Amino acid sequence: MQNSRLYYRLLRLDTYFFNFLRISIFIVMAWIGGLKAFQYEADGIVSFVANSPLMSFFYKNAGNKALNDDQKLVSEYTLYKNPEGKVVKKNIDWHTENGTYGFSYGLGAMILIIGVLVLSGIWFPKIGAIGGALTFLMSLVTLSFLVTTPEVYVPNLGGDYPTPQYGFPYLSGAGRLVLKDIIMMAAGLVLFSDSVKKVVKPAVN
Protein backbone atom coordinates (compact mmCIF):
# COMPACT_ATOMS: atom_id res chain seq x y z
CA MET A 1 0.00 0.00 0.00
CA GLN A 2 2.83 2.37 0.91
CA ASN A 3 4.57 1.60 -2.37
CA SER A 4 1.35 2.29 -4.27
CA ARG A 5 1.09 5.73 -2.69
CA LEU A 6 4.70 6.47 -3.64
CA TYR A 7 4.09 5.38 -7.23
CA TYR A 8 0.96 7.52 -7.40
CA ARG A 9 2.84 10.57 -6.14
CA LEU A 10 5.58 9.99 -8.74
CA LEU A 11 2.97 9.67 -11.48
CA ARG A 12 1.54 13.04 -10.46
CA LEU A 13 4.97 14.52 -11.21
CA ASP A 14 4.72 13.24 -14.79
CA THR A 15 3.74 16.63 -16.21
CA TYR A 16 6.66 18.34 -14.49
CA PHE A 17 9.08 15.78 -15.93
CA PHE A 18 7.83 16.38 -19.47
CA ASN A 19 8.02 20.13 -19.00
CA PHE A 20 11.56 19.84 -17.66
CA LEU A 21 12.43 17.93 -20.84
CA ARG A 22 10.90 20.75 -22.91
CA ILE A 23 12.92 23.34 -21.01
CA SER A 24 16.08 21.27 -21.42
CA ILE A 25 15.63 21.02 -25.19
CA PHE A 26 14.91 24.74 -25.38
CA ILE A 27 18.15 25.56 -23.52
CA VAL A 28 20.18 23.38 -25.90
CA MET A 29 18.44 24.75 -29.01
CA ALA A 30 18.66 28.39 -27.92
CA TRP A 31 22.31 28.11 -26.91
CA ILE A 32 23.50 26.17 -29.96
CA GLY A 33 21.26 28.12 -32.32
CA GLY A 34 22.52 31.42 -30.92
CA LEU A 35 26.16 30.36 -31.34
CA LYS A 36 25.55 29.85 -35.08
CA ALA A 37 25.75 33.65 -35.37
CA PHE A 38 29.45 33.52 -34.49
CA GLN A 39 32.34 32.85 -36.87
CA TYR A 40 33.97 29.94 -35.03
CA GLU A 41 30.74 27.96 -34.81
CA ALA A 42 29.88 28.61 -38.47
CA ASP A 43 33.36 27.38 -39.47
CA GLY A 44 32.92 24.30 -37.28
CA ILE A 45 29.91 22.91 -39.18
CA VAL A 46 31.42 23.23 -42.69
CA SER A 47 32.55 19.61 -42.95
CA PHE A 48 29.04 18.38 -42.05
CA VAL A 49 27.24 20.66 -44.49
CA ALA A 50 29.71 20.32 -47.38
CA ASN A 51 29.41 16.52 -47.37
CA SER A 52 25.67 16.31 -46.86
CA PRO A 53 23.53 15.65 -49.96
CA LEU A 54 20.69 17.41 -48.11
CA MET A 55 22.62 20.62 -47.42
CA SER A 56 25.72 20.94 -49.61
CA PHE A 57 23.89 23.01 -52.24
CA PHE A 58 23.80 25.89 -49.73
CA TYR A 59 27.58 26.26 -50.17
CA LYS A 60 29.15 27.62 -53.36
CA ASN A 61 32.38 25.62 -52.99
CA ALA A 62 31.08 22.40 -51.43
CA GLY A 63 32.17 20.14 -54.30
CA ASN A 64 35.47 21.85 -55.06
CA LYS A 65 38.73 19.90 -54.87
CA ALA A 66 42.25 21.27 -54.40
CA LEU A 67 45.81 20.04 -53.78
CA ASN A 68 47.03 20.16 -50.19
CA ASP A 69 50.63 20.62 -49.03
CA ASP A 70 51.32 16.94 -49.74
CA GLN A 71 49.99 17.39 -53.29
CA LYS A 72 47.00 15.19 -52.54
CA LEU A 73 43.60 16.06 -53.99
CA VAL A 74 41.29 16.90 -51.10
CA SER A 75 38.04 18.75 -50.52
CA GLU A 76 38.81 22.44 -50.76
CA TYR A 77 37.17 23.33 -47.45
CA THR A 78 39.81 21.29 -45.58
CA LEU A 79 42.44 23.87 -46.60
CA TYR A 80 40.52 26.74 -45.01
CA LYS A 81 39.71 25.46 -41.55
CA ASN A 82 39.95 27.92 -38.68
CA PRO A 83 40.80 26.10 -35.43
CA GLU A 84 38.53 27.23 -32.60
CA GLY A 85 40.09 30.29 -31.04
CA LYS A 86 42.18 31.19 -34.10
CA VAL A 87 41.23 33.64 -36.84
CA VAL A 88 42.95 33.59 -40.24
CA LYS A 89 41.86 36.28 -42.71
CA LYS A 90 42.27 34.22 -45.89
CA ASN A 91 40.13 31.50 -44.33
CA ILE A 92 37.47 33.99 -43.33
CA ASP A 93 37.46 35.41 -46.86
CA TRP A 94 37.02 31.92 -48.34
CA HIS A 95 34.13 31.13 -46.00
CA THR A 96 32.47 34.44 -46.74
CA GLU A 97 32.56 33.69 -50.48
CA ASN A 98 31.45 30.13 -49.84
CA GLY A 99 28.28 31.26 -48.05
CA THR A 100 29.36 29.66 -44.78
CA TYR A 101 28.17 32.48 -42.55
CA GLY A 102 24.89 33.24 -44.30
CA PHE A 103 23.88 29.58 -44.07
CA SER A 104 24.90 29.41 -40.42
CA TYR A 105 22.75 32.44 -39.54
CA GLY A 106 19.73 30.83 -41.19
CA LEU A 107 20.37 27.47 -39.53
CA GLY A 108 20.76 29.12 -36.13
CA ALA A 109 17.46 30.95 -36.54
CA MET A 110 15.71 27.71 -37.49
CA ILE A 111 17.15 25.85 -34.48
CA LEU A 112 16.10 28.68 -32.17
CA ILE A 113 12.56 28.65 -33.58
CA ILE A 114 12.29 24.89 -33.03
CA GLY A 115 13.41 25.39 -29.45
CA VAL A 116 10.71 28.01 -28.89
CA LEU A 117 8.07 25.72 -30.40
CA VAL A 118 9.12 22.90 -28.06
CA LEU A 119 9.02 25.20 -25.03
CA SER A 120 5.59 26.50 -26.08
CA GLY A 121 4.29 22.95 -25.65
CA ILE A 122 4.08 23.66 -21.92
CA TRP A 123 1.11 25.97 -22.64
CA PHE A 124 0.09 25.13 -26.22
CA PRO A 125 0.10 21.38 -26.97
CA LYS A 126 -0.55 21.77 -30.70
CA ILE A 127 2.50 23.99 -31.10
CA GLY A 128 4.47 21.64 -28.86
CA ALA A 129 3.60 18.71 -31.11
CA ILE A 130 5.04 20.58 -34.09
CA GLY A 131 8.17 21.36 -32.07
CA GLY A 132 8.58 17.72 -31.06
CA ALA A 133 8.19 16.52 -34.65
CA LEU A 134 10.71 19.09 -35.92
CA THR A 135 13.16 18.11 -33.17
CA PHE A 136 12.93 14.51 -34.36
CA LEU A 137 13.45 15.48 -38.01
CA MET A 138 16.35 17.81 -37.23
CA SER A 139 18.06 15.08 -35.22
CA LEU A 140 17.50 12.59 -38.03
CA VAL A 141 19.33 14.93 -40.43
CA THR A 142 22.14 15.41 -37.91
CA LEU A 143 22.56 11.65 -37.46
CA SER A 144 22.86 11.26 -41.24
CA PHE A 145 26.27 12.96 -40.85
CA LEU A 146 27.52 9.64 -39.47
CA VAL A 147 27.14 8.31 -43.01
CA THR A 148 28.14 11.34 -45.08
CA THR A 149 30.91 13.10 -43.12
CA PRO A 150 34.42 11.55 -43.15
CA GLU A 151 35.52 13.69 -40.19
CA VAL A 152 33.20 11.88 -37.78
CA TYR A 153 35.64 8.94 -37.68
CA VAL A 154 39.27 8.86 -36.55
CA PRO A 155 41.53 9.33 -39.60
CA ASN A 156 44.60 7.27 -40.37
CA LEU A 157 47.27 9.98 -40.11
CA GLY A 158 50.17 7.70 -39.28
CA GLY A 159 52.98 9.00 -37.08
CA ASP A 160 55.73 7.22 -35.18
CA TYR A 161 53.59 4.08 -35.24
CA PRO A 162 50.67 2.92 -37.41
CA THR A 163 47.29 4.30 -36.34
CA PRO A 164 45.79 1.44 -34.28
CA GLN A 165 42.12 2.44 -34.53
CA TYR A 166 40.69 4.47 -37.38
CA GLY A 167 37.60 4.60 -39.56
CA PHE A 168 34.31 2.99 -38.56
CA PRO A 169 33.36 2.47 -35.69
CA TYR A 170 36.00 4.69 -34.07
CA LEU A 171 34.21 8.01 -33.59
CA SER A 172 36.20 11.23 -33.52
CA GLY A 173 35.22 14.16 -31.31
CA ALA A 174 32.88 15.35 -34.05
CA GLY A 175 31.37 11.89 -34.36
CA ARG A 176 30.75 11.55 -30.65
CA LEU A 177 29.01 14.92 -30.71
CA VAL A 178 26.75 13.83 -33.58
CA LEU A 179 25.88 10.47 -32.00
CA LYS A 180 24.42 12.21 -28.95
CA ASP A 181 21.62 13.53 -31.17
CA ILE A 182 19.96 10.11 -30.97
CA ILE A 183 18.90 11.20 -27.46
CA MET A 184 17.45 14.42 -28.87
CA MET A 185 15.62 12.37 -31.51
CA ALA A 186 14.01 10.18 -28.85
CA ALA A 187 13.11 13.23 -26.76
CA GLY A 188 11.41 14.83 -29.76
CA LEU A 189 9.24 11.76 -30.27
CA VAL A 190 8.34 11.55 -26.58
CA LEU A 191 7.29 15.21 -26.48
CA PHE A 192 5.39 14.88 -29.76
CA SER A 193 3.44 11.97 -28.28
CA ASP A 194 2.76 13.80 -25.01
CA SER A 195 1.54 16.91 -26.82
CA VAL A 196 -0.74 14.93 -29.14
CA LYS A 197 -2.28 13.18 -26.15
CA LYS A 198 -3.12 16.55 -24.60
CA VAL A 199 -4.71 17.69 -27.85
CA VAL A 200 -6.76 14.52 -28.31
CA LYS A 201 -7.83 14.02 -24.68
CA PRO A 202 -10.24 17.01 -24.48
CA ALA A 203 -11.82 15.95 -27.77
CA VAL A 204 -12.40 12.44 -26.43
CA ASN A 205 -13.99 13.74 -23.25
Q: For the chain, 205 residues long, give each residue's pLDDT as a single digit of tens.
A: 567 777 777 777 888 999 999 999 999 999 999 999 999 999 999 999 999 999 999 999 999 999 988 889 999 999 999 888 888 999 999 999 999 999 999 999 999 999 999 999 999 999 999 999 999 999 999 999 999 999 999 999 888 898 999 999 999 999 999 999 999 999 999 999 999 999 997 655 4
Q: Are 113 and 127 in contact (CB under 8 A)?
A: no
3-class DSSP assignment, residue 73: strand
3-state secondary structure labels for all residues of 78-121:
HHHCCCCCCCCHHHHHHHHHHCHHHHHHHHHHHHHHHHHHHHHC
- Could you tell me which residues are beta bridge partners of residue 73? 67
Can you give the pLDDT at residue 1?
53
Residues in CB range of 147: below 8 A, 6 or more apart: none
